[in-house]
Structure 1
């Protein structure tokens, strides 16, 4: 699988559904495939009435709706593989979802945009109805948790990102969008961590080497990272990097995603999968960050400040 960097007009959508237009932005690796957790614009009446003949396929944890049966089976198998990795990385092996996750695969990009009401930049969307989200076309299905995408985008990176959001949201059990804002950095960091892991090893390592150099030059405080709602931030261009003979501009929004992914990667890979589960469980119990860290990582990090210090030290030491 090849990493694609594209320059297009896109929007960022926050949990409060604030839309910010970012014209001509250079997408980094995650942004090229990232779906969104947000409220769609209402699809037109004509689009909703346009009927597609969907088939159904169900695996152990997924219900697939699509138009090409072979693609549906392959996607279900891929989702099961990604599901297993996500559960292992979070040590949620005993966690059972309330119901199988629905994945709708539209045949084309155009139909996906028409039926969901999402704009041209969107490659996929997660739906968590207890957070007030639902696709206009699918109200009658009453599916509590779901993903929608189209055939071109139904591949490992996007699916890994979206599945991570669904599992995280359901496990945390929050019923209000404002509750999820307090752990937005963990949610997006974990989804981006799983998404990046879905890329091929050599390309992933080359990409990480490049952006880690940018992180060293632009690290912000963890307090600022936690308080930031990136989609409500004013876009600021920070610098450029070269990848495969091309130059890309990156912004403060890119930097935020790079940092939250790096922190979550550090928590999982240096702290351990089981401890990451304990960390999530403490946050689910509404413990503050310092208490959650102390409970989940005894003898390692007692506070946000200790985590930040070690994360930054190791990040800098590992630079080429």
Structure 2
């Protein structure tokens, strides 16, 4: 018979009573025997990746300082009708190579405009590739080329954007519950098929833990990100007063946690957060990566030394 659960499954608060690290360890140790293997893993590899954009620039004839002669006036009039245009090639990513391994957390460092966001979007399949965009190199997921599964990439790779976009009139809890129901609140309905590789007791324990985890996942995310004080406050925007900028950033981070993705790409999550809040989030992500074998990559501008020490590899 399996031992009494070390974690109470009654509510999200009780599941977090011993901390998020202990909860993650409990879930991994409970689910893996019933799955028959370690938690699903996904590695992302990119090799010689280059992204360029052809940008059309129109010359501003009104900006030129010339004598107001008749010839110059007529020339400017014609230039306005048929302005001079030239195409400039802009390098967004240049010959980048790297790998995000399961079970590790990677910091991606770079100055503004260095291509950190573009890299995150490319690897998550959310970069807007249009006719003026040229992409070279290869991106693979567990050895499968990106172009073969491009429409399915967002199903297992999450991208936490740098900008916060929410429904201003929804509260923090409503935002997270909406995300939960929209991207996988009913996933455990297939639990009988998923948890069938262990003993009867192990399978039942895994199914019970999974159901409790999914049922209380919004509460778990709220507790992990310290959003209890603002869970009933509207998100707000420029016209509607709501949560603070740091709380809104944490809501953005939490919103993208739903759906049980295997890879998490987080773009400048420290914006609006103090160093202590950023440190807590990164430590939580590191524990998730280690216990649930998730690949996590976080882009930062200037991380504090204690933040750099929490990650294994660095990409600059």
TM-score over 0.5 (shorter chain): no
- Structure number with greater Rg is 2
Select the structure with the greater relative contact order (CA < 8 A; seq sep ≥ 6).
2
TM-score bucket of the superposed structures, by smaller chain? under 0.3
More helix by share: 1
